[in-house]
Structure 1
Amino acid sequence: MGQKVPNLPALTDDCSRCAALCCVAYPFEEDEDFAILKDVDTPCPNLSDTCFDCTIHASLKSRGFGGCIAYSCAGAGQRVTQELFDGETWRDDPDLLTHMTHALRVLRPIHEALAILLEAQKLPLPPEVQMELTAKITALCPDDPKSIWAFEDAQVQDALADVPTFVRSLAPYVA
């Protein structure tokens, strides 16, 4: 099992601590995953006007929103809302909208990569590969995780770009 990594975030969704960033940040293409066309950085019309709840959550599949069901931010949404923006939301301050959605689009791939790398720690890896794995996880967890710039840093982005190649190199250790 891998070493403990400082600044390792929660990698599971907690929508109650988020500002519905996924319902705003990403565009929808009108197809089998989304019943409507929606632009980037635009709130979904199914988002409640008074809170950050989906007004059709109970019937997403039957209403043509399978993409919403399949989506996971791997904890990036609540991290953006609670840590990077101290609990403020784009509804509190509309000027925050594009900053928060940009932060989600930067953090989500990092969180997804961390989730994959943490799963890889369960593999029977030789010590040198385990050390490399721990180094990659550490590189994706910057020392000052309170600023989006920490995640846009070249070291973090280079580590993120290297994850697919590194994960493919683990194939011989998968039973």
Structure 2
Amino acid sequence: MIDKVPNFPALTDDCSRCAALCCAAYPFEENEDFAILKDADTACPNLSESCFDCTIHADLKPRGFGGCVAYSCAGAGQRVTQDLFDGETWRDDPDLLEHMTYALRVLRPIHEALTILKEASKLPLPDEVRKALIAKVTALCPENPKSIWAFEDPELQDALADMPEFVRSLAPFVTRS
């Protein structure tokens, strides 16, 4: 039902349609989740030079990259690459790196919120609460999703900021299996 909201995005990772944005966007702090220290907006040294593949993907956890194993962009990476940047990549145009990684950092929390709301839509909710949930989803799915500005709209950002309170309001409708 919420999938029918206009501009509702795919919420599953598709690394083949991304430009390894997660491998560049986020900093790593050397700890139990990451074996190295890496700055934001810098490609991970384990990223292949010729493509966007991880050179240690098969051994991430044993090599100290459990954070990479646990990470999910909830589909934001390919949305940034394919929709906002029309398939262009920061490897093709290095000037795009900071713009693309910024867009990922904006879209990922929105996609995470939509993932939560999609799961919440399966709950037995009263009509009033279901309408509020659909309104929240609609607010998080802007009309013109081809520009980063659409995702920085104050109404959308307010809806995102309200997510913790909204999710708490759903607690009475969660049943234990």
Over the aligned positions, Cα root-mean-square deviation in angstroms equals 0.8
1:122 aligns with 122
Q: TM-score normalised to the size of structure 2?
A: 0.98
Superposed CA deviations along residues 122-164 of structure 1, whole A, max 9, x for unmatched, are 0000001000000000000000000000000101100000011
1:164 aligns with 164
SS at match of 2:74: coil
Runs of 4+ aligned structure 1 residues displaced above 6 Å come to none
> What is the CA distance between 1:4 and its match in structure 2?
2.1
Superposed CA deviations along residues 84-138 of structure 1, whole A, max 9, x for unmatched, are 0000000000000000000000000000000000100000000010000000000
SS at match of 1:68: helix
> What is the CA distance between 1:5 and its match in structure 2?
0.4
Gaps of 5+ in 2: none
2:41 aligned partner, one-letter code:
D
Contact 1:27 1:39 survives alignment (8 Å): yes
1:77 aligns with 77
Distance 1:140 1:2 in 2: 12
1:102 aligned partner, one-letter code:
Y
Where in structure 2 are the equivalents of 1:148-163 lying within 5 Å?
Answer: 148-163=148-163
Is it true that 1:145 corresponds to 2:145 in the alignment? yes
> What is the CA distance between 1:81 and its match in structure 2?
0.2
2:24 aligns with 24
Distance 1:2 1:83 in 2: 21
2:15 aligns with 15
What is the aligned-residue identity percentage? 81
Q: How many residues align?
A: 175
Gaps of 5+ in 1: none
Where in structure 2 are the equivalents of 1:57-96 lying within 5 Å?
Answer: 57-96=57-96
> What is the CA distance between 1:3 and its match in structure 2?
7.2
Distance 1:150 1:82 in 2: 16
1:132 aligned partner, one-letter code:
A
Distance 2:172 2:30 in 1: 40
Per the alignment, do residues 64 and 144 of structure 1 end up closer, same or farther by CA in structure 2, a change over 3 Å counting? same
Distance 1:60 1:134 in 2: 38
